[in-house]
Amino acid sequence: MAPMGTVEFQSPPESVFTVLLHHADMALALGYGDSLTGMYNPEGFEESYNTLLERLDGVSVDWSDLVDTYNPDKELLYELDSDIHLEDPANMVLMDAWETEDVEEIRTNVSPWFGNSLSRNHSEPPKGWADRYRYYTLWEIFGKVAEVFQEGTRYEALSEIHTNLLSTIESGLPQSDDRPRTARVLLRKGIWVYQMNGPGTVRAHTRVFDVEDALADVPNASQIDIEGLAEADPEVVLVDGGLGPEWTSTKQQLTDEPAAQSITAVENDQVYPIGVRYGGPVMNVFQLETIAKQLFPEQFGEWPAYDGGPYPEFPEDEQLFDRQRMVDVINGDL
């Protein structure tokens, strides 16, 4: 896989260093969630994931005590002595504390790198990495990670769940003219805009719906004020990272603003929480179900009133993917 090229392992790794969440999610999906030695924002992402995993009986994560590995000192990787660095070496070089020589040193003295992170937004690789770089879909990356762990059967089973879910969504989508103009934002010390459509793994759960992005003209990951959102006047607002115990107060940051009262989504109470944007396959499956229900309740069943807490519990006939099958696959009961 780019940018590493061919990487060989004598056996499946037993200890797994990660940084970005999509790789940690992949380890979880393949049954290695307890093998992590570190990750970015472990406490916050433990909460985000257990909010979802409440609905996968027998699956949970215990990440809060892991070391935070964003822009780590090189010495930390020696101390952790992981069997694999499940992270993109090009992404490491983009961090302040790292150079290409450092990732080569760790590869030689500790263990290989294996990951792809710049596919998130199709970001430009650092100097010296462009010729060996390419972009993948989320599930292409996951498939290659599964090969490292010799978990091809588990990957195929999870991929089938994902493919069936996409088929359900695509067959139920209304005509383009009947899809709501939608904005996707992060409410954190202001309003941050994230695009619905276009390439990149961070849009794997939104572009499938092919809705009109009410903020398509605003650069990705840039900030706007409430007046700018009111001018765009989306029919639906999806709030990144909204799922969880803080949802009510997060939503009120937007809906309590006087200038927000004219926004169609606010008037119609169609401001909804979605999960974190950097997730992997487990998060992706939940996100697809979430957004399908929020945007198209007539086709996929209603998203319920939600004031925080665990992911909503739906009757079996309203679930868009088989929870028990997903539990069985993650736990290795194939």
Pairing relationship of beta strands 236-239 and 36-39 according to DSSP bridges: unpaired
Count of residues in the chain? 334
Pairing relationship of beta strands 191-193 and 182-187 according to DSSP bridges: antiparallel
Q: Nearest Cα to 18, choosing from 102, 64, 84?
A: 84
Torsion, CA 107, CA 113, CA 117, CA 119, rounded to 10: 110
Q: Are 28 and 282 in contact (CB under 8 A)?
A: yes
16-70 pLDDT, tens digit per residue, is 999 999 999 999 999 999 999 999 999 999 999 999 999 999 999 999 999 999 9
Q: Are 100 and 88 in contact (CB under 8 A)?
A: no
Q: Is the dihedral of CA 171, 162, 20, 6 positive or negative?
A: negative
Torsion, CA 125, CA 127, CA 133, CA 134, rounded to 10: 40
CA atoms of 24 and 115, how far apart (whole Å): 11
Q: 182 and 249 share a domain?
A: yes
User: Considering the domain boundaries, does residue 164 fall inside one?
Assistant: no
Q: Nearest Cα to 288, choosing from 204, 187, 226?
A: 204
Q: 259 and 132 share a domain?
A: no
When divided into structural domains, the chain yields a total of 2
CA atoms of 191 and 271, how far apart (whole Å): 13
Pairing relationship of beta strands 222-224 and 191-193 according to DSSP bridges: antiparallel
Write the CATH number for 232.
3.40.50.1980
Q: 193 and 267 share a domain?
A: yes
Q: 190 and 228 share a domain?
A: yes
Q: 192 and 290 share a domain?
A: yes
273-314 pLDDT, tens digit per residue, is 999 999 999 999 999 999 999 999 999 999 999 999 999 999
User: Considering the domain boundaries, does residue 274 fall inside one?
Assistant: yes
Q: 223 and 319 share a domain?
A: yes
Q: What are phi and psi of 149, to 5 degrees?
A: -90, 5
CA atoms of 77 and 4, how far apart (whole Å): 18
- CB within 8 A of 115, min separation 6: which ones? 18, 20, 23, 85, 86, 87, 88, 89, 91, 141, 145
User: Considering the domain boundaries, does residue 210 fall inside one?
Assistant: yes
CA 118 to chain centre: 14
Q: Are 304 and 312 in contact (CB under 8 A)?
A: yes
Kind plus residue range of the DSSP H or E element containing 295: helix 281-295
For the chain, give the longest Cα–Cα distance. Answer: 61
User: Considering the domain boundaries, does residue 298 fall inside one?
Assistant: yes
The pLDDT value given to residue 254: 96
Residue with tokens 């924002």: 41
3-state secondary structure of 191: strand
Q: Name residues of the chain where pLDDT drops below 70.
A: none
DSSP type of residue 79: H
User: Considering the domain boundaries, does residue 258 fall inside one?
Assistant: yes
Q: 123 and 194 share a domain?
A: no
Domain boundary among the residues 150, 165, 194 is at 150
3-state secondary structure of 39: strand
Q: 45 and 140 share a domain?
A: yes
Q: 81 and 189 share a domain?
A: no
Q: Are 230 and 260 in contact (CB under 8 A)?
A: yes
Q: 326 and 182 share a domain?
A: yes
Tally of CA atoms within 13 A in the half-sphere of 272 that contains its CB: 26
- Percent of the chain at pLDDT exceeding 90: 100
CA atoms of 103 and 249, how far apart (whole Å): 41
How many Cβ atoms sit within 10 Å of the Cβ of residue 54?
A: 15
Write the CATH number for 58.
3.40.50
Residue with tokens 């990440």: 63
Q: 56 and 129 share a domain?
A: yes
Domain assignment of residue 29, given as a range: 16-150
The pLDDT value given to residue 30: 99
The pLDDT value given to residue 67: 99
User: Considering the domain boundaries, does residue 311 fall inside one?
Assistant: yes
Q: 234 and 134 share a domain?
A: no
Domain boundary among the residues 150, 185, 200 is at 150
The pLDDT value given to residue 219: 97
